[in-house]
Structure 1
Amino acid sequence: MPRLEMLELTIVPLAWHCGFWAILCFVVSTITGNVSQVDKLWSITPALYAWQIAVFSEFHTRAVLMASLATIWAVRLTYNFARRGGYTWPPWEGEEDYRWPILRKNPYLSHPVAWMAFNLGFISFYQHALLLVIVLPEIMATSSEGGLNLMDWVLALLFLLLVMVEYQADQQQYEYQTEKYRLKGAKQPLYGEYEVGFLRTGLWSMSRHPNYFAEQSIWIVFYLFSVSGGAGLINWTIIGAILYVLLFQGSVAFSEGITAGKYPRYAEYQATVPLFIPNPTMFKPFWNDGATMKKRR
């Protein structure tokens, strides 16, 4: 199917689909006062959009591959969010992301009207639009009539590798934080790396945010499927990957400011370990004495 025809066929239904989630999140967050509603859908809606495009493409081989990869990413990220207590019943309840209460205190956002506008424009609509835009390369990838090529398979393997990296980074962080809070809950003294307060071994010894490095890279790779489909090295759907990367720059800068104020040794960590792109020469084995001790019992 020609790209323009495919775009005309899919973009309006996708926009309505995206708008539904944005309005739902805005209404629910306004009623409950909890603006973390988008977080609960972050790992779900891109996979839904990807399969919607696959259906409109009449299950083009590349679209099915891309939708399948997006589903693997979605299942993995949803699982990680769920085990950290991200989902509750009723679904609109639960803890709000720790950054939102801090941002509410910003002089420009502290007024209720200003905060409502921010919630409507950025939290609800912009973020949901972004989750749609990162999937749009799938439209440009479906115009080729041929089957999958070597580049498709290389990109698929790279995508899966990055999902594994993200899983391992999240797993190390989960094990570290679980043991740290177990010690705190048991009123036992923190020792070793737990006394430092933040993880800096394993993948986290090479990058301050290895999970975010993998996450951004995943959607850059997703964009490259459009290149494999013949849309050219640079096409308009690259805007999704660019905006996604930019979102992480601002979000991480904000969260690191909070972390640096909480942990005295974080400034040293910032000065020696790269923000995103890993430096393999700095690798230190994952330190998890708590888990090791449990296995020995």
Structure 2
Amino acid sequence: MNPLVACLILCAVIAAATWITSVVTNEHSWVDRIWSIAPVAYAWILAAGGGLEPRLVLMAALVTLWGIRLTFNFARKGGYRPGAGEDYRWAVLRGRMPRPAFEVFNLLFIAGFQNALILAFCLPLWTASEGSRPLGGWDILLAAVFVAFLAGETIADQQQWEFHRWKAAERAAGRVPEPGFVQTGLWRFSRHPNFFFEQAQWWVFYGFAVTATGVWLHWTLVGAVALSGLFIGSTIFTESLTRAKYADYDAYRKRTSMLVPWFAKRREPSPEPV
């Protein structure tokens, strides 16, 4: 079977399964649970369909490393626990939308669009399989940058994990944790460094399609573009909830870049007492 067709069939099966499961359980994070797993399957199907050429094996190996790390991070936060792993933002949306409208949103966006997106950002592997250029120095450089961004996301997630463990310990001790959100480490330079590094990895991944073909623009760029669009929308929504929860979040927003890590602005001095 054509590997692209095989991936499309698998994507349709996963989309249907996540939608049916969400309806049965009334949980809407089933796509989140397969987010780091399905790309590994797509990557190796496409690599095998391309004859397991060195560049394709390298790309599939990078996706596998990405998938292992993200699966571990999701699991330790309880993402795979029945009844406890749903993204809190879906509950907020359910409360804001009429039930029929949310069910349409669940079918078309949560299960449909997101599963299509997962496949889409893996498809540079398909383009690379059609290229004629051998594995070379640019591929090694791209792999090194991908791993660097993977390390950046790992560090950001670890810093966030340690911060939330500290918050839980403070609450368990009967204290109110201050500050209420992480602002140190990489989070001093970006409000969402993990989001930045996640997107950056898939833009680098598209670079392999360029090195394989010598052509800059391919239709498989749509995956990285759509992923960035999803992250921007998700970040804006997430921050609207955080701003409503923490009074000092606006000050953090003013001095800290949203996504791209950059030097933080200096804190404004507190006004002198009258």
Which TM-score applies when normalising by structure 2? 0.93
- Say if 2:2 is the partner of 1:15: no
- Cα RMSD of the aligned pairs, angstroms, is 1.5
Instruction: Determine the structure 2 residue equivalent to 1:95.
Output: 85
Instruction: Determine the structure 2 residue equivalent to 1:120.
Output: 107
Q: Given that residues 47 and 67 in structure 1 are in contact (C-alpha distance below 8 angstroms), is that contact kept between their aligned partners in structure 2?
A: yes
CA distance in 2, matches of 1:231, 1:36: 39
* Per-residue deviation, residues 43-101 of structure 1 (Å, max 9, x unmatched): 1111110001011111011111000000000000000000111112xxx5433211011
Instruction: Determine the structure 2 residue equivalent to 1:150.
Output: 137
Match of residue 56, structure 1, among 44, 49, 53: 49
Q: Given that residues 141 and 231 in structure 1 are in contact (C-alpha distance below 8 angstroms), is that contact kept between their aligned partners in structure 2?
A: no
SS in 1 for 2:129: coil
Deviation >2 Å, runs of 4+: 8-11, 92-95, 143-147, 280-283
* Per-residue deviation, residues 199-233 of structure 1 (Å, max 9, x unmatched): 11110000000000000000000001100101511
Instruction: Determine the structure 2 residue equivalent to 1:292.
Output: none
CA distance in 2, matches of 1:47, 1:137: 14
Instruction: Determine the structure 2 residue equivalent to 1:262.
Output: 245
1:123-138 alignment to 2 at 5 Å? 123-138=110-125
Q: Given that residues 4 and 126 in structure 2 are in contact (C-alpha distance below 8 angstroms), is that contact kept between their aligned partners in structure 1?
A: no
Instruction: Determine the structure 2 residue equivalent to 1:248.
Output: 231
SS in 2 for 1:39: helix
CA distance in 1, matches of 2:245, 2:131: 52
CA distance in 1, matches of 2:164, 2:264: 25
1:19-30 alignment to 2 at 5 Å? 19-30=12-23
SS in 2 for 1:207: coil
Identity of aligned residues (%): 39
CA distance in 2, matches of 1:154, 1:77: 23
CA offset at residue 185 of structure 1? 1.5
- Say if 2:29 is the partner of 1:36: yes
Q: Given that residues 132 and 212 in structure 2 are in contact (C-alpha distance below 8 angstroms), is that contact kept between their aligned partners in structure 1?
A: no
Match of residue 224, structure 1, among 173, 189, 207: 207
Match of residue 277, structure 1, among 233, 253, 260: 260
Which TM-score applies when normalising by structure 1? 0.86
Match of residue 170, structure 1, among 148, 157, 161: 157
CA offset at residue 280 of structure 1? 4.0
Q: Given that residues 124 and 220 in structure 2 are in contact (C-alpha distance below 8 angstroms), is that contact kept between their aligned partners in structure 1?
A: yes
Instruction: Determine the structure 2 residue equivalent to 1:182.
Output: 169
Which structure 2 residue ranges, 5 or more long, are not aligned? 267-274
CA offset at residue 234 of structure 1? 1.1
- Which amino acid is 1:73 matched to? W
CA distance in 1, matches of 2:222, 2:85: 32
- Which amino acid is 2:92 matched to? I
Instruction: Determine the structure 2 residue equivalent to 1:287.
Output: none
